Amino acid sequence: MQEAINSGKLVCYVINLDRVPERWDGIREAFSRMNIPCVRFPAVDITREDCQAELPRVYPNLYYWLMGEMPSPGRIGCFASHRNVCRLFLESDAEYALICEDDILPEPDFAQAVEETLRYAHTWDYLRLVQISKRWMIPYADLPCGRQLTTAIQGATTTACYLVNRKGAKILTETLLNMYQPIDLMMHRGWWGLREATLHPFPVRFMEEADVSCMTPPVFRKSYPWHPVWWTKRLARVYLRMIRYSYQGSRGLRRRLFPPKPEMEEA
């Protein structure tokens, strides 16, 4: 990984809110112990009056019918932050970007794990380094560090830490223009032509205090079976899962039946 960083092949960004500098100090110190330089990307905070960041076009009514809640300022800011940091990456000359939120900490072998995944960079455009669920993962490559590259079929996800190449970042910046779901759900679809993979066991973990979110909480509205939203959000969930399972399932089977070789062995 150090070679990729020194050659300008890989750049690391950390999305951090101005009002929680202690999180930036923690993750910067953790990365510095591994000799991994990282760039702080100020998270979009639309609660500030001086916020001038470019925001997505938000569809609050559609969001409500799909999610059963109204989009909070924190979720809008998170959406904008990930889209804008991908744009910043595309303005650089790097081939890959490691994008992290400020509530994660790397495991001791994090640098080794990332270096080994780059040998399979021809198999993914977007590589998750952590997600909430560990179910339904189809492995397709064993790494020397003891981890596996997998195809995650389902499960709750997160945007806390991932690798993305230039093709993946271009797809994300072009598709994340309109917000009608949280950023993690929109990036979890799998049908944008984005070759998605997941590294497991995860080389990062959440901070102990990460359960205290720095985002403003979403505005929930209770719904019951006799309320239309109760049905719309469940039908949308079933529809999106069916599409994702079909895409990720076929991708996982292809990778399993025809496992790719690392780039060094292909040469």
pLDDT single digits (tens) 111-132? 999 999 999 999 999 999 998 7
Is 263 within 8 Å of 95 (Cβ atoms)? Answer: no
Is 127 within 8 Å of 42 (Cβ atoms)? Answer: no
Task: Compute the average pLDDT of residues 82-86.
Answer: 96
pLDDT of 241 above 70: yes
What does the mean pLDDT of the chain come to?
87
pLDDT of 168 above 60: yes
Task: Compute the average pLDDT of residues 67-77.
Answer: 91
pLDDT of 63 above 70: yes
Q: Compute the distance between CA of residue 200 and CA of residue 203 in angstroms, rounded to an integer.
A: 8
When mean pLDDT is compared across 5-14, 35-44, 99-108, the lowest value belongs to 5-14
Give pLDDT, residue 243.
85
- Furthest-apart CA pair in the chain: how many Å? 61
pLDDT of 244 above 90: no
Amino acid type, 52: Q
Residue length of the chain: 267
Alpha helices in 38-72 (DSSP H): 60-67
Give pLDDT, residue 76.
94
Locate the domains of the chain by residue range. 2-266
Q: What CATH number belongs to 2-266?
A: 3.90.550
